Structure 1
Amino acid sequence: METDTYSEDAALIGERQTAARALLAHPLLTQGAHPAELSLVRSHAEWLAQRFQRVLGYRLDVSDAHARLVKRGLVAEVGHRFTRANGARFTPRTHTYLALILAVLVEETAPTTVRALALRVRAAAHEAGIDADPGRGLGERRAYCAALDHLVGLGALTETTGRIADHRADAGADPAVRPHTQVVRAVAAHLPQASDDPGSFLADSADTDPDSEQQGETALRRLLAETAVVYREELPDRQRDRLAAHQWRAAAALGNLLGCDVEVRAEGVALVMPDEAGARPAFPDDDPVGQVALALVRHLSGRLHPGLPATSVPVPDRELRAALDALGGAEAPARAEWARTAGPEVPDPERLHTRVTDLLTDLGLLRGGPGEWRLTAAAARYGADVDERIPPIQDNDEESRTHPAPVRGSGDDDGPPEAPADPRGDLSRVTSVLQAVANEKVSATSGDTGDQRGPGGSSG
């Protein structure tokens, strides 16, 4: 039988791109948490290390026990919030215990118990001048156990006897755990120096608008790879010009690395991943939070039609509250259905409200906060369908975007239509962007796909 070289090459490329997407979604892959993905990364470690360095300027470290993609830049953009099993975000206290546990375990190689580790954590906190004691009350113990559970989920700790949940419920329970020291040391990718203060450390780690053209293009690729949508009007002037000039070259490089498609529109650019291994939360989802979030996005897209091309539109607090109450409030019919299904926890209405807005904020579909909510253009990808169960909110503001702008008929004789508002005063810039898009489409595959070094021979 003859070998199909093309099929072999396609399979090889597919494996490499699958491994790259797994690393982008989970920068720390361990044998305990992601054995299949780690095996795939180890098989293509050299290719992945070269491409991540060349395309995104990221360093990849691979060992027998783990693979760690060390990201640079975009500190705020690539940082995903840590959550507990019930979806609640980590509190500052839980983050404190996570840092203290890592500080204790970084040199630990022997098995230990949760209570013995708690004593060492308390001593480390005292030495650092931090008021933290895992044995001081239920609240402290829960925060401490949440940090331990997070490390178990990463594969940095293994429960050997008993469960951490036993200690959370009963202070006298003392389950045994085994630390995986090499993995523990890889959890924190950028260790600060003793002389660094938090502000300067974070500032030095991120520069979204470098002076160098090559560094600027690398930063732009990171932004495209790590965020749901890159909106042109939100970029600094230099990066907006770089996006216009290099968006198709960046698309080719990221497509070669990740196997993704790229959507280029007037508002901005988005990567579309071929499977569920994207770097952002899975959406839509079947649990109550995912169901309400999807219904909310569709409803708001239909109700808050902007009338003009826009990156985002305001969402009145009353409109958001009315929609959330109708879709998942105490009297919502859906709650009875959720209660009958054996599966995910059904959050109470207030917690459901918070988790839905948190999810949509993480996805880049909602922005802002109470009094300043805005629905982004990307929400329209999920449809625009006004939910009749949600009562309309009356708003007498003439500038309100809660209803579509009236459509002028052919028989209207009120003079020529008014020109669309241009609050940024840069229609000429948008025109130049669109012209650059048209010009670059002709040579989309002729640019840097990540196979060649950029100008000056630097790896980016």
Structure 2
Amino acid sequence: MGVIETDAYSEDAALIGERQAAARALMAHPLLTRRAHPAEFSLVRAHAEWLVQRFQRVLAYRLTVADDHARLVKRGAAASTTAPFTRRHGAPFTPRTHTYLALALAVLVERDGDTTLRALAADVRAAAHEARVDADPGRGLGERRAFCAALALLVRLGVLDEVSGTVRDHETDASADPGLRADAQAARAVAVHLPRASDDADSFLADAADHDPDSDHQGEIALRRRLAETAVVYREELPDRQRDRLAAHQWRAAAALGNLLGCDTEIRAEGVALVMPDGAPDGTRFPSDDPVGQVALALVRHVSGRLHPGRPATSVPVPDRDLDAALDTLGGPDAAVRGEWARTAGPEVPDPERLRARVLDLLTDLGLLRGGPGEWRLTAAAARFGADVDDRIPRIQDNDDDGRTLPAKPRGSGDEHGAPEPPADPRGDLSRVTSVLQAVANEKVSATSGDPGDQ
């Protein structure tokens, strides 16, 4: 019988891969419960000591791992990276839904084990009365929907488990009484930064996020947090000190975050992006094979090719009529691809108006488009998906003499009134890129001379 030889390098690679997968799971789901995410929680439990140390060293995040849940406490994350709670169909929570979420948590921190939804509703009604809050889950359809939306979130977080029936049953039928199982420890871990009695909303939020600390060490930590929490960090959108820190420490930050999360880092003139090996943290896949994903990808490629600025730029304007023409060709009523979609046994094929709305929502959520009607802008990150002008889409003429969508002016030319053209880079951010890139070679060599988080 032969002896099975093991490759120590392969074992180490597998170990590192597990740790980094656990770290990515915590970044995507800061509250991980055994009920809601059993596989990810098992990984976190197995590598708890390493994760606790690395999150503290690299991002100054505190990680607590209990028997049935793990909580990553994110302090100081940029407000722009914080996603709001949403209902099942994607609509953000209303103030009423947040009220029921707070009341439900106030009840569940003292309750463990089996209960029913209607019993929980009675306790929430009593808690609201005690707190002098006007809230009653049984007072009409609107109140019941807000209450059920809050409970559905707690089910997704693993605070509640649907034992018999579902929360949605009660949302559609007030007489339905599904069985639930509560986890008091997980409920206590949902809110980690409780306001003090002296706090108002503005001071509480200001204290929770400091985007530009005075200290160099804290400033670099804040920069790493922004890189880890944001799909793309654009240089010209950073405060002056953080932009300088990015130029000086971008490779060290890339090494530290790559060691923790197993991600690649793309450093370009416009900014820096982390590319995760398993896609977006929330599970969103782009490009995707469904009609919305296909049209969104084709639109991004076409607009990137048609409106390429020819120089480093964080974003370029996209006229509404260009979007309308492209969306009509790619997925409108007469688009040839609609027949192909109808023949496949794939996902639902949205009608043209709904398809347009979903494509624009998807690209906005991904940060590839910004703004809104009349103010759309294509961001630099869109270029990584390619630039391929679709010749089927007609060019929109701005005047009788030029058929291009955005006719280019000679550099320094004025408008019809003789006013000088505004500078493309008013703060001089991108003009400093050359000196930054000249320092890259030296920075690469010295990147590991500091503490990339793996010492």
Q: How does 1:117-128 map to 2 (within 5 A)?
A: 117-128=120-131
Equivalent position of 1:313 in the other structure:
316
Q: How does 1:58-73 map to 2 (within 5 A)?
A: 58-73=61-76
SS of equivalent to 1:41: helix
Query: Is residue 77 of structure 2 the alignment partner of residue 42 of structure 1?
Result: no
SS of equivalent to 2:439: helix
Counterpart of 1:76, as a letter, is: A
Q: How many Å separate the matches in 2 of 1:131 and 1:345? A: 41
Say which of 297, 302, 320 aligns to 1:299: 302
Q: For structure 1, which segment, 274-283 or 23-32, has the greater mean C-alpha deviation from structure 2 after superposition?
A: 274-283
Equivalent position of 1:358 in the other structure:
361
Q: Aligned pair in 2 of structure 1 residues 142, 335: CA closer, same or farther (>3 Å)? A: farther
SS of equivalent to 1:111: strand
Counterpart of 2:217, as a letter, is: Q
Equivalent position of 1:456 in the other structure:
none
SS of equivalent to 1:230: strand
Q: How does 1:3-402 map to 2 (within 5 A)?
A: 3-276=6-279, 278=281, 281-329=284-332, 332=335, 334=337, 338=341, 341-342=344-345, 344-347=347-350, 349-396=352-399, 402=405
Counterpart of 2:181, as a letter, is: R
Structure 2 residue runs of 5 or longer lacking an equivalent are 412-420
Q: Deviations over 1:222-241 (max 9, x none)?
A: 11111111111111111111
Q: Is the 8 A contact 2:78 2:226 kept in 1?
A: no
SS of equivalent to 2:88: coil
TM-fit CA distance, 1:427: 5.8
Counterpart of 1:137, as a letter, is: G
Q: How many Å separate the matches in 2 of 1:157 and 1:101? A: 11
Q: Deviations over 1:4-35 (max 9, x none)?
A: 32222222111111111111122111112211
SS of equivalent to 1:385: coil
Equivalent position of 1:438 in the other structure:
441
TM-fit CA distance, 1:308: 2.6
Q: For structure 1, which segment, 269-278 or 210-219, has the greater mean C-alpha deviation from structure 2 after superposition?
A: 269-278
Q: Aligned pair in 2 of structure 1 residues 447, 163: CA closer, same or farther (>3 Å)? A: same
SS of equivalent to 1:270: strand
Counterpart of 1:32, as a letter, is: R
Q: How many Å separate the matches in 2 of 1:80 and 1:106? A: 24
Q: Is the 8 A contact 2:312 2:430 kept in 1?
A: no
RMSD: 3.0
Q: Relative contact order (alpha carbons < 8 A, sep ≥ 6): 1 or 2 greater?
A: 1
Q: Deviations over 1:185-228 (max 9, x none)?
A: 22223222233211111110101110000000001111111111
Q: How many Å separate the matches in 1 of 2:197 and 2:349? A: 45
Q: For structure 1, which segment, 233-242 or 396-405, has the greater mean C-alpha deviation from structure 2 after superposition?
A: 396-405
Q: For structure 1, which segment, 381-390 or 230-239, has the greater mean C-alpha deviation from structure 2 after superposition?
A: 381-390
Q: Aligned pair in 2 of structure 1 residues 176, 280: CA closer, same or farther (>3 Å)? A: closer
Q: For structure 1, which segment, 168-177 or 399-408, has the greater mean C-alpha deviation from structure 2 after superposition?
A: 399-408
TM-fit CA distance, 1:395: 2.7
Q: How many Å separate the matches in 2 of 1:315 and 1:13? A: 43
Counterpart of 2:298, as a letter, is: A
Q: How many Å separate the matches in 1 of 2:271 and 2:31? A: 30
TM-fit CA distance, 1:326: 4.2
Residue identity (%): 78
Q: Deviations over 1:389-443 (max 9, x none)?
A: 54433334999994475999xxxxxxxxx9x954334565323322222321233
Counterpart of 2:359, as a letter, is: V
Q: Aligned pair in 2 of structure 1 residues 449, 280: CA closer, same or farther (>3 Å)? A: farther
Structure 1 residue runs of 5 or longer lacking an equivalent are 409-417, 453-460
Q: How many Å separate the matches in 1 of 2:198 and 2:349? A: 46
TM-fit CA distance, 1:451: 2.9
Equivalent position of 1:411 in the other structure:
none
Q: Aligned pair in 2 of structure 1 residues 303, 91: CA closer, same or farther (>3 Å)? A: farther
Q: Aligned pair in 2 of structure 1 residues 333, 86: CA closer, same or farther (>3 Å)? A: farther
TM-fit CA distance, 1:71: 0.6
Q: Deviations over 1:358-377 (max 9, x none)?
A: 33223221222333221110
SS of equivalent to 1:306: coil
Q: How many Å separate the matches in 2 of 1:450 and 1:79? A: 24
Q: How many Å separate the matches in 2 of 1:323 and 1:375? A: 14
Equivalent position of 2:418 in the other structure:
none
TM-fit CA distance, 1:45: 0.2
Q: Aligned pair in 2 of structure 1 residues 50, 427: CA closer, same or farther (>3 Å)? A: closer
Q: How many Å separate the matches in 1 of 2:391 and 2:95? A: 41
Q: For structure 1, which segment, 365-374 or 393-402, has the greater mean C-alpha deviation from structure 2 after superposition?
A: 393-402
